[in-house]
């Protein structure tokens, strides 16, 4: 029984060590070079280039080391019946919600404006907007979106959420479907994207959609960069329709050196750091799922391949 860790080294090194510590009976390889292909039964990965999967004839399981699985599901040679699992980590959900709140409060309290003023040596006070008058709309009410919505509601923001089916979360107004999306956007001052990336959500935040937000709305993205048509977002900010955006995810990470995102004064850009999943949990879940797959038992957090998350 063997696991192949196929991840960028900043994740691969700690996760490999934890797998070895938690399951001394399982062989764990960090990187494809070391692995014996005929022995690999599970791969932990973020994305899989074409040609990787067919090299492992005994593969039973592909484990994402993250909440999002879009890069894994995009592998052209991922067999239809290959189980894929993702990470569901309450600690990560809380961390992402904290990050989103920090960005939202930075916006409502105008901390970016004060940072600019300080560079100019300017002492000028602004009256911030009351939270109770700042309407939040959360796109996607999965585990992460629900936690984000819950935290906004807990500190007094009016909150709405858009999801495939109504979630009935306390203090969160439900919106569904295309009409629901338009209706929610029209009454959203801070839009937060926590959607999974699927063919249906790819590129959905284009000029037409974002322009439905009221003048002066703010956008926070902790979903995926591909949800947004970046040129449309920047144009709406430059035209003054949107106040700005906090982006933690990008279609290309890191963005190209000449991407305007690096220097745009109304964009807060961070390198996909909203919150990582716990590496202990990643290791633990992969080991447990490999044992379950071997025994033919149901897997934890198995992705619905049809839904794409």
Indicate the residue among 16 and 66 with the shorter CB distance to ligand OXD.
Answer: 66
Stretch 275-294 residues interacting with ligand OXD (CB under 6 A): 276-277
Q: How far is CA 284 from CA 16, 18, 60, in A?
A: 11, 8, 17
Which residues are paired to 219 by β-bridges?
191, 245
158 interacts with ligand OXD by CB under 6 A = no
67 interacts with ligand OXD by CB under 6 A = yes
Chosen residue from 4, 16, 68, 161 binding ligand OXD by CB under 6 A: 68
145 interacts with ligand OXD by CB under 6 A = no
Give the integer Cα–Cα distance in Å for 47 and 156.
39
In whole angstroms, how close is the CB of 47 to ligand OXD at the nearest point? 11
Tell me if residue 168 is catalytic.
no
Percentages (nearest 5) of helix, strand, coil residues in the chain: 35, 15, 45
Site stretch for ligand OXD (CB under 6 A), options 4-12, 65-73, 158-166, 185-193: 65-73
11 interacts with ligand OXD by CB under 6 A = no
Catalytic residue (one of 32, 109, 264, 272):
272
Site stretch for ligand OXD (CB under 6 A), options 24-32, 48-56, 61-69, 251-259: 61-69
Report DSSP state, residue 164.
Answer: S
Catalytic residue (one of 224, 241, 297, 305):
224
DSSP assignment of 24-93, as one string? TTSEEEESTTT--GGGEEEEEES---TTSGGG-TT--EEEESSS--HHHHT-TT--TT--EE----HHHH
Radius of gyration of the chain (CA): 21
Neighbours of 126 (CB within 10 A): 10
Indicate the residue among 6 and 135 with the shorter CB distance to ligand OXD.
Answer: 6
Tell me if residue 164 is catalytic.
no
Give the integer Cα–Cα distance in Å for 51 and 65.
20
Total of chain residues touching ligand OXD, rule CB under 6 A:
5
- Could you list the active site residues? 224, 272
In the complex, the residues that contact ligand OXD under the rule CB under 6 A are 66-68, 276-277
């Amino acid at each position: 029984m063997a696991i192949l860790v196929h991840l960028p080294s900043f994740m691969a090194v700690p996760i490999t060590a934890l797998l070895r510590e938690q399951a001394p009976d399982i062989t764990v390889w960090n990187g494809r070079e070391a692995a014996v292909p005929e022995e690999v039964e599970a791969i932990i990965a973020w994305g899989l280039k074409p040609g990787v999967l067919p090299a492992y004839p005994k593969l039973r399981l592909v484990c994402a080391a993250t909440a999002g699985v879009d890069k894994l599901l995009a592998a052209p040679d991922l067999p239809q019946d290959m189980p894929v699992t993702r990470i569901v980590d309450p600690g990560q959900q809380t961390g992402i919600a904290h990050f989103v709140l920090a960005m939202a409060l930075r916006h409502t309290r105008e901390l970016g404006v004060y940072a600019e003023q300080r560079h100019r040596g300017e002492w000028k006070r602004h009256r911030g907007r009351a939270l109770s008058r700042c309407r939040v709309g959360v796109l996607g009410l999965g585990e992460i979106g629900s936690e984000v919505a819950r935290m906004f509601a807990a500190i007094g923001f009016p909150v709405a959420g858009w999801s495939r089916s109504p979630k009935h979360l306390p203090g969160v107004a439900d919106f569904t479907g295309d009409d629901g999306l338009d209706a929610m956007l029209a009454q959203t001052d801070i839009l937060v994207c926590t959607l999974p990336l699927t063919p249906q959500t790819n590129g959905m935040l284009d000029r037409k959609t974002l322009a439905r937000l009221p003048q002066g709305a703010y956008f926070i993205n902790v979903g995926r960069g591909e949800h947004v048509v970046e040129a449309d977002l920047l144009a709406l900010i430059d035209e003054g329709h949107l106040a700005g955006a906090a982006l933690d995810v990008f279609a290309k990470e890191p963005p190209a050196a000449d991407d305007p995102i690096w220097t745009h004064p109304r964009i807060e850009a961070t390198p996909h750091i909203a919150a990582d999943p716990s590496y202990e949990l990643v290791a633990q879940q992969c080991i447990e799922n490999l044992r379950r797959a071997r025994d033919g038992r149901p897997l934890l957090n198995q992705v619905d391949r049809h839904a794409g998350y």
